[in-house]
Amino acid sequence: MQKQNNDFEQMMVVLEIEPEDPHDADIALVDAVRRDVIDALQNDNYRVQFPYTGQRGGITPLEVYTAVTDAASYAWAHKDVIEETMNDISTLITLFGGINPILKHVFRANEQRARKEQSTSQPIKITTSIDGTPISVEAPDLEHAEAALLLARRFQSQHPAVAANVTTKSKVKVKGKIPKRQARRRR
């Protein structure tokens, strides 16, 4: 996903930042990471909305919008690599090309928040679902220039039936599970 452009079709990603263990949660940390992600996305010109859930307070999902054609430009920029693969995953590559920047913001916000809080950082668990079919994503998965291609291939190999029917209108959901922070030991 790249920056907002109103002239093109937009893709929506539902983003949820929640505690890893709801019964032993560090709500302040989860809320701080969530605010940091929202600020970073808005600074990168993403359109972020808070859907009405009918509930007061609590951790609610975010709707993040971006132009599909901008996400497709990622695929076009990496067309040589994409041509090496089958054409039936090009839509998946476009979707993951759009999702990667959002995932990077979530990982970065958690790392920065851990440094600010002077706590030891634990890995976040992020699950990306396309049309209800999940795949886990880790920070190292996003460090490569071809991250969208790698994630698209993994999704296709794990869920070939769903991958064959993915479109830019598919329901995309990203869920980040923030672990409870562990305080540093004092010397």
Residue with the bigger pLDDT between 65 and 164: it is 164
Lowest-confidence range among 5-9, 11-15, 34-38, 86-90?
5-9
A 10 A CB-CB count for 127 gives: 14
Residues 6+ apart with CB under 8 A from 163: 88, 89, 92, 152, 155, 156
Is the pTM value of this prediction over 0.75?
A: no
Please give the pLDDT value at position 61: 77
> For residue range 24-80, what is the model confidence (pLDDT) as tens digits?
878 888 888 888 988 988 888 888 887 766 655 556 777 787 755 555 566 666 666
> For residue range 111-151, what is the model confidence (pLDDT) as tens digits?
887 777 665 556 778 888 899 999 888 777 677 667 777 88
Per-domain residue ranges of the chain: 10-182
